[in-house]
């Protein structure tokens, strides 16, 4: 293990305005009744630095790159835009292969009271039950790596600001933001499971069955009434549950699935934009190109050099 250097230099500058006590995992800790926010900065390369917390923790990368070593997982790169959920007392061993004083590695670790997490999830299950009575909202903290969506990124930024505020309402704002973060993370885990492990849920979850049905019939014109019928739900109930468990509306999901299919088609150099349009369920090249740009932010021809 590389020894931590405990002497700071004038060249390294903290983004948090805190005193630098070390160049490796220099830490600023801010507290709340239900949580602690730890902001870390590393200004030099280091290997196998050990870290663990006595409460469930969400870590998020802010800048730079780490290599994470966790139990039962191969080492992996950990980069900005990603978060990792870990249970209490889980050992992390961390490499900092790229950190320098000019380009430090920065991350946060947010520990949240296990009791507060349980209370929030229990309230969620009571007030907004899932579509199937056998399923419940939960928060999996067992080495759970996720890509931050805009809501989670926004909440993370907000918590950094709130923890550093000098405001009489600060504890109230932090508590409400923590609750929202827990719910958003639970939603993310549910819809990720339904979308990426659909076949595992297809016989027990009506929405997973609808997801599979949409994918199998993506080139057809799928009506809302048809999908409601497959889910055995009323229209209003179907829309509400689809959005809460999958994070997007049925129409948005159909669009993203068609674009995903179109991208796969365009990866074949013998296929044209017209092929991708009609083979992915669109009935107009103009509409297809516009929809593709709205989702992917590039022209579909960029994928096969015909734009």
Extents of the domains making up the chain: 1-194, 197-247, 256-307
Rounded to two decimals, the pTM is 0.85
The whole-chain average pLDDT of the chain stands at 92
Closest CA to 62 of 109, 5, 26: 109
Residues in the chain: 307
Q: So what's the pLDDT on residue 80? A: 96
pLDDT band at 242 (very low <50, low <70, confident <90, very high): very high
C-alpha 52 chain-centroid distance: 22
Cβ 188 vs Cβ 247: under 8 Å? yes
> Is 1-194 CATH 3.30.565.10?
no
Q: So what's the pLDDT on residue 304? A: 62
Q: So what's the pLDDT on residue 3? A: 42
Q: State mean pLDDT over 181-193.
A: 94
Q: So what's the pLDDT on residue 235? A: 93
C-alpha 112 chain-centroid distance: 17
121-145 burial: b if 16+ Cβ within 10 Å, else e: beebeeeeebbeeebebebebebbe
Res. 153: pLDDT tops 50: yes
CATH fold, domain 256-307, is Arc Repressor Mutant, subunit A (1.10.10)
- 78-123 residue pLDDT tens: 999 999 999 999 999 999 999 999 999 999 999 999 999 999 999 9
Query: Using a CB cutoff of 8 Å and minimum separation of 24, what contacts does 164-173 make?
Result: 164/16, 164/30, 171/32, 171/33
Q: So what's the pLDDT on residue 95? A: 97
pLDDT band at 4 (very low <50, low <70, confident <90, very high): very low
- 164 vs 297, more confident: 164
pLDDT band at 143 (very low <50, low <70, confident <90, very high): confident
Considering Cα of 187, then 201, then 280, then 237, what sign does the dihedral take?
Answer: negative
Q: Do 1-194 and 256-307 have matching folds?
A: no
Q: So what's the pLDDT on residue 305? A: 58
- 11-29 residue pLDDT tens: 789 999 888 989 999 999 9
């Amino acid at each position: 293990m590389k020894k931590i250097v405990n002497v700071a230099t004038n060249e390294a500058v903290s983004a948090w305005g805190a005193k630098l006590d070390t160049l490796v995992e220099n830490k600023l800790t801010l507290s709340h009744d239900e949580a602690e926010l730890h902001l870390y900065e590393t200004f030099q390369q280091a290997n196998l630095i050990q870290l663990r917390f006595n409460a469930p923790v969400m870590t998020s990368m802010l800048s730079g790159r780490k290599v994470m070593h966790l139990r039962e997982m191969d080492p992996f790169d950990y980069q900005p835009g990603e978060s990792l959920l870990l249970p209490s007392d889980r050992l992390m061993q961390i490499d900092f292969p790229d950190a320098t004083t000019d380009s430090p590695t920065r991350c946060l670790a947010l520990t949240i009271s296990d009791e507060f997490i349980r209370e929030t999830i229990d309230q969620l299950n009571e007030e907004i039950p899932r579509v199937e009575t056998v399923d419940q909202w939960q928060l999996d903290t067992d080495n759970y790596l996720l890509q931050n969506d805009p809501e989670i990124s926004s909440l993370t930024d907000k918590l950094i600001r709130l923890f550093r505020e000098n405001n009489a309402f600060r504890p109230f704002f932090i508590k409400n933001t923590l609750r929202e973060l827990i719910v958003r993370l639970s939603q993310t885990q549910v819809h990720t499971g339904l979308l990426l492990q659909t076949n595992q849920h297809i016989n027990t979850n009506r929405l997973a069955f609808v997801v599979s049905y949409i994918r199998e019939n993506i080139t057809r014109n799928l009506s809302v009434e048809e999908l409601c019928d497959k889910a055995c739900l009323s229209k209003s109930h179907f829309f509400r549950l689809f959005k809460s468990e999958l994070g997007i509306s049925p129409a948005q999901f159909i669009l993203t699935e068609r674009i995903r299919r179109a991208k796969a088609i365009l990866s074949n150099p013998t296929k044209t934009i017209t092929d991708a349009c009609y083979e992915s369920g669109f009935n107009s090249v103009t509409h297809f190109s516009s929809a593709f740009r709205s989702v992917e932010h590039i022209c579909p021809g960029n994928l096969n050099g015909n734009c």
